[in-house]
Amino acid sequence: MSQPLTAETEGVTKYHLDFKMAPAPAWSLCAELDAWRTLLFMLQLTGQDSQRYGGLAYGNVSRRVTHDSFLISGTQTGALPRLSAQHYCRVDHCNINHNRITAQGPIPPSSEALTHGAAYLASPAIHCVIHVHSPVIWTHAESLAMAVIDPVVAYGTPEMAESVAKLLEENPFRVIAMGGHQDGILSCGATPESAVQPLISHLAQAILYA
């Protein structure tokens, strides 16, 4: 089944999606990633708040499967305390220049899949990408000496993906504030643990600044 999807509003898919319904990935591929994702939910770095982002769920996680493919949490799953294999899908191809994602699974990929794909293309050392929302980290990004993407660059666009890729080519393991995506923070690592731990450290420091 092919579903070309586009949208112009915050929190929904902006890339073109070629999606095929397929069985869920093996839980063994998701379990470690989801354990760390559960911690992010407990810290309210992923979730859902009726007072923020028009009530849409926020936050998504992914990990590399092969050189070209990765597993990613499905669209609007950020509000769930725990996920199952049914909440993950596999992105088989990411074309930034054509703003297109090819994916398969029981659920379409997160609206940030293009940005995740750009991170994996930027460096073979990256095996996990975490995208969260944190008002306190985002507000104090410059004080935390974080890389900040120009606010004119909108979330979920090829321009955002290209900006992320450029920063990660310089340093693949860094935490990035997405200036044009309210409260959006991106962290990459060789493992889920190494991607999440800097976020927790930045959160503690940002709370101190606040």
Domain residue spans of the chain: 16-209
- Provide the CB-side half-sphere exposure for 185 (13 A, CA): 29
Is residue 201 over pLDDT 80? yes
Question: pTM, whole model, 2 decimals?
Answer: 0.93
For residue 82, the Cα-to-chain-centroid distance in whole angstroms is 17
- Provide the CB-side half-sphere exposure for 76 (13 A, CA): 8
Q: What is the CATH number of domain 16-209?
A: 3.40.225.10
Nearest of 149, 154, 157, 152 to residue 99 by alpha carbon: 157
pLDDT-derived band at 11 (thresholds 50, 70, 90) equals: low
pLDDT in tens, 15-53: 999 999 999 999 999 999 999 999 999 999 999 999 998
Antiparallel, parallel or unpaired: β 175-178 and 147-149 = parallel
